[in-house]
Structure 1
Amino acid sequence: MRRTLGYVLLSTLLFSSMEIALKLAGASFGALQLNFLRFLIGGVILVPFAMSYVRKNQLRLLPHLSLFLATGLVCVLISMTLYQLAVISAPASMVAVIFSINPVFALLFSFLILHERLSRTSIISVVVSVIGLLVIIDPAHLSNPAGLLLALTSAVTFGLYSILSRRGSQKYGYNGITMTAFTFIAGALELLVLIGLSYLPIAGHLFAHSPQLTAAFVRIPIIAGITWAHLPLLAYIGIGVTGLGFAFYFLAMERSDVSTASLVFFIKPGLAPIMATILLHENITVTTIIGVVIILIGSVISFINQEFMERVGAMLPFHSHHNNMLPH
């Protein structure tokens, strides 16, 4: 149990520092360049764990290439690009909190795509979390609508990715770490294609009206601009946050259960803003604090319900303890 809690603690610290590290790196790298490097490195770190599972269970990867291309597109190319743009244009603490409610959207997509029944407790958790989000956004006094919209869209699409990944895992027998590893690799390759397209003349014409969009989507570099001074931060983001963060999460899940491992994402909305205040000197408003507390209440409601259902399930015959829901 001590080792499991150690995995949970390490994963929590790594994921809670994610927005801070990306904010710092965003000053030196473009959103797509940083995304490509981050998920390529993270995927490479996770592949040995994934291949061990594939060989052990005699699974075949090539027939399911379209699955990884789809999850890579939704997760890495769309959700995480929007996420990086949000981190650049909005306070890291706010992005961290908004992104942490992606399980709300995952629940809705599970109802729409997997036709899973929403329990009363799940609906209450969704409503409470949305109230907390509205308190933080404060629609009557929006100061950065673009950043908020980017963060919210990133959370929505990541919730969709979670459900697509879960469906693929259930259908083909992949565990969470295998789905994540090959999603990262597929997404990095798709980003590489997009980077290549950014050098075509049409890219310059499409974004000529906006200097910001030109900088983000035209002639995107791959390794240009990387210096020795950047390597520690890139290593922390790619190996630490993206690779080891997910590895520790899944190790905690394998040694315990989904509820215990999910503590990572219930703590993050409270811890990430504190870390952003200390390390980036961001100001946290009273409404943000209130909103975070409300979201944490919604997370606790969800956690208690999940833990209760797992305990009930464990008492039933032929209980399957397998759950491939990916982290959020």
Structure 2
Amino acid sequence: MLGNIILIGAGIVWAFYNFITRDLTNKYSAMTLTYYQMLAGFIFFLPFVIIEGKTWRMPTMTSASALIYLSVGCSIVAFLLYNLGLRKLSASISVSLMNLVPVLGLIFSILILHERVSTVQILGGVIVIIGVILSSIQKG
């Protein structure tokens, strides 16, 4: 039950984030918004880094590469592109498109990692894609 409550809370927070950011994209550039989002995240998470400082070890080349990839690709570039997208799309469509993340993860796991997927996973992906398409159709 706690996991469900956290998941619902995350959805509510994400909706507020979209509406707040949507208004700010008209005032500031995507680069400026991304900079301040990354700065706020750094400041918020810094105390947790200090708490965990005792368990740190010297990173290997593999872990350092993964950290750089996650920092640049999955955080900076992703938020920059999302902020750019909010200028062109409504917040509701932006949130709807976020449902494609696990589907794209599944597709890339097949293409890059050559993983096997089950029929249920494929069916779930198709349902998500249909849901995103239906929710993105503009009435008019």
Identity of matched residues, %: 22
Q: How many residues of Structure 1 are paired with residues of Structure 2 in the alignment? A: 139
Superposed counterparts of 1:13-162, under 5 Å:
13-53=12-52, 55-56=54-55, 58-61=56-59, 63=61, 64-138=63-137
Residue 62 of structure 1 and its aligned partner are, at CA, apart by 6.9
Higher relative contact order (CA 8 A, sep 6+): 1
Aligned partner of 2:57: which letter? L
Instruction: State the Cα RMSD in Å.
Output: 2.7
C-alpha distance in 2, partners of 1:6/1:101? 22
Q: TM-score, normalised by structure 2?
A: 0.79
TM-superposition CA deviations, 1:180-238 (whole Å, max 9, x none): xxxxxxxxxxxxxxxxxxxxxxxxxxxxxxxxxxxxxxxxxxxxxxxxxxxxxxxxxxx
Aligned partner of 1:26: which letter? T
Unaligned stretches of 5+ residues in structure 1: 139-283, 287-328
Residue 104 of structure 1 and its aligned partner are, at CA, apart by 0.4
Greater Rg, structure 1 or structure 2? Answer: 1
C-alpha distance in 2, partners of 1:129/1:5? 19
Residue 127 of structure 1 and its aligned partner are, at CA, apart by 1.2
Residue 53 of structure 1 and its aligned partner are, at CA, apart by 4.3
Residue 16 of structure 1 and its aligned partner are, at CA, apart by 2.4
C-alpha distance in 2, partners of 1:54/1:108? 36
**Contact in 2 for aligned 1:35/1:76 (Cα 8 Å):** no
Residue 40 of structure 1 and its aligned partner are, at CA, apart by 1.9
TM-superposition CA deviations, 1:68-123 (whole Å, max 9, x none): 22222222333221211111122111111012221100111122233322111110
Distance 1:127 1:90, change over 3 A: same
Aligned partner of 2:131: which letter? G
Matched position secondary structure for 1:114: coil
**Contact in 2 for aligned 1:19/1:92 (Cα 8 Å):** yes
Residue 5 of structure 1 and its aligned partner are, at CA, apart by 5.5
C-alpha distance in 2, partners of 1:10/1:43? 22
Runs ≥4 residues deviating over 6 A: none
Q: TM-score, normalised by structure 1?
A: 0.37
Distance 1:45 1:128, change over 3 A: same
Residue 52 of structure 1 and its aligned partner are, at CA, apart by 3.8
**Contact in 2 for aligned 1:54/1:60 (Cα 8 Å):** no
Aligned partner of 1:117: which letter? R
Distance 1:60 1:6, change over 3 A: farther
TM-superposition CA deviations, 1:110-152 (whole Å, max 9, x none): 22233322111110011112222333445xxxxxxxxxxxxxx
Superposed counterparts of 1:123-202, under 5 Å:
123-138=122-137
